[in-house]
Amino acid sequence: MKSFCVKGHAKINLFLHVVGKEEIGYHLIEGLFVFANLSNFLEIKVGEKDFRYDNSIVEFVNSELRINNRYNTVMRAVNLLLRYAPVRTKIIVKVVKNIPIAAGLGSGSSDAGAIIRTLGKLWKIDRSILNEIALSVGADVPASIDSKPVLVRGIGEELCPIKKLSLPTNIVLVKPKKKFLSTPEVFSKYKGDFSKPIEWSDDAEKDLLKLLKETKNDLQEIVVSLIPEIEDVILALESQKGSILSRMSGSGVACFGMFDNEENAKAATANIREKQPEWWVCDTQLIT
């Protein structure tokens, strides 16, 4: 049996615009996805199937919420990938959760992306097939295969890699304790006007901070109406020394603060933890 130890990195939406809606109901988005050193750890074991036992097993460790072992992003990805396995195969996955779930940080998507990346390479599956599998698992999963900075459009299938992430990389993540939201729930409440797509160019990529200050998270207002504490989180991040930009990530409930240097980021983490001991707070760095 082959064993692999891999990481699923946290995804942060630096901005997220809702630009339209398909007839079948999916919202069309535009956003800048980046990934952080904060990660889940996956131990993946691959071996030939024994007909006496179930085909695949997944175990989650350190999760705030109980995850259904049969219906989750890892199992969906595994079951789709097994169609391309060279022999009848059994997969065993142990996931150690460090990224909060249902928080807009792509915890489940990062797990699926790591599985698809690992088994896709092992079985030499064509990248176009991997992208199709990823999208069928979840909208954030295609970007999570490589876990590199990317402009995402459509329902998550249009990826435009960022050549150079010209941004400060020190990030503080904050989530109110015991607050969770599902992505479908948040999108179902979106009734506002659609945002106009940004004009993407080499100049925009060269000055990403200027671009970020001209953008927003279209879902933030909805989440604040459901969990007003999100406003307190953003204000806490904005009030710290060295704060450059603060907003909610994805469909919430976690928020990020971008800082000018590591010292200020760590000081902000300590300050917020001291004042709000019930909140989950983590300082990390963006992967460039």
The residues assigned a catalytic role are: 11, 140
| Beta pairing, strands 56-61 & 89-96 | parallel
DSSP track, 68-107? -SSSSHHHHHHHHHGGG-SS-EEEEEEEE--SPSSSSS-H
Cα separation, 156 vs 148, in Å, equals 14
Rounded CA-CA distance 287/34 in Å is: 7
Q: Collect all residues with Cβ–Cβ distance below 8 Å to 225 and sequence separation of at least 6.
A: none
Which residue, 50, 107, 29, 49, is CA-closest to 74?
Answer: 107
Instruction: Decide: 230 and 176 in contact? Cβ < 8 Å.
Output: yes
Give CA–CA dist 270/276, Å, rounded: 10
Whole-Å CA distances, 151 to 117, 186, 187: 19, 21, 20
